[in-house]
Amino acid sequence: MADGNVTISIFSPFDNSSKKNDSITTSSTKKPLNLWPGMYHSPMTIALWETKSSIFERLLDPPVDAPPQTKLLTRTPAQSRMAILYNFSSDSILREQYRDAWNEVRIGKLLEDLDALAGTISVKHCSDDDSTTRPLYLVTASVDKMVLKKPISVDNDLKVTGAVVWVGRSSIEIQLDVTQPATEMASDDSVALTANFIFVARDYKTGKSAPVNRLTPETEREKSLYQAAEARNNTRKRKFRENDPEVENESTDRVESLLAEGRVFCDMPALADRDSILLKDTCLENSLICQPQQRNIHGRIFGGFLVHRAYELAFSTAYTFAGVLPSFLEADHVDFLRPVDVGDFLRFKSCVLYTEQRYDMDKPRVHVEVVACVTSPERRSSEVSNRFHFTFTVGAKADTDGGSSKIRKVVPATEEEAKRIIARKKLIHSS
């Protein structure tokens, strides 16, 4: 795997069946069982565990007195670059695992895979190739905007490529591109989805931030990507320093304007606009106990698993709200505010935050917010671990009952809801 390319094969790392390629079987079964955290979901993840197992094997029991990495290496983007191929056209089992009900790729499952690939790329970049030093602990800090540029068919092969595009002192940004190679219908490869992941490095023993290897871009494109990532990082730092005072100081008039219609719903429901709906009436919720099969090598729940579950709830929310099949458009910036551990009681709460149906849009847009909370009944506490924002487009509804086919306007009933809407719109318009 010196060139970083991995081709997906579907099999269990514990399966000793003679049907598998002998070299793969030998490689897989030699790994200690506790290196593989359960039968984790995706074929991509299995392939990635195999890729990075040689680096992670020493994480299982690092020497107590092992020194931290002190000598930082200088690497190029090419040294961390990886490519994953999904052989949908020839592998029926793989195709069925990723097929949704409308013969497209399951976006939530793909987003989960992207997190796994980004994590492997960050490990490749940070490795010092020295088994005597203490390895770094890398965690997903945030996901930048992910934009779907075209539908992804499950009948054509899919390729995901990625590399480190920028590093700070202890943070790393990885850019991933999802493409469907040329077919008879499309003569050129075209990017279907892009995503940027930010990982932060921690000392495995102390848990404190740790420096990472430097990055030297070589090609013009690599230099351009580095500069763009540097600009995004500076913007994030500026917003953090400002502590987002703009929303708190938002004019009373704007909040009151948003609340006016909501008060009609609450106080005079018979007179409320039938083309509007209260934000609270768009909500869905589900919950789960985080299981060992969903953990990463560090014992924490995969960030990609959280994104996957949040996406599927957001899709369901948009579907039940619009009354017509939604199409995913983009996922905005996601911060991982709190780690999620095995055994945690996780609750996902979703709502349609607002809708857009402007004249300059081909289709109306539905903006869905999903909040993930780690709930502890014993301590009577609930902490937000993630806040996700997904945008969907919807086509025209079948107007079978003679009523309006327009997408409803969502209105807040509380000041807190009004401020969330204002904050979200401001963030989108400033990006």
d(CA 297, CA 280): 38
- Domain borders along the chain are 5-242, 245-430
Q: What pLDDT sits at residue 347?
A: 95
> Chunked in runs of 10, what are the mean pLDDT values of the chain (431 residues)?
42 37 38 41 62 55 65 91 90 89 90 90 83 77 87 91 94 94 61 92 82 94 94 76 52 80 86 89 94 75 89 96 93 86 92 86 90 90 92 72 67 91 78 58
Q: What pLDDT sits at residue 189?
A: 63
Q: What pLDDT sits at residue 15?
A: 38
Select from 1.10.3470.10, 1.25.40.10, 3.40.630.30, 3.10.129.10 the CATH code of 245-430.
Answer: 3.10.129.10
Fold of domain 5-242: Thiol Ester Dehydrase; Chain A (3.10.129)
Q: What pLDDT sits at residue 341?
A: 85
Length reported for the chain: 431
Could you tell me the two tokens for 54? 């040689």
d(CA 171, CA 46): 25
Same fold, 5-242 and 245-430: yes
Nearest residue to 280 (alpha-carbon basis) of 421, 95, 109:
421
Q: What pLDDT sits at residue 287?
A: 94
Q: What pLDDT sits at residue 116?
A: 87
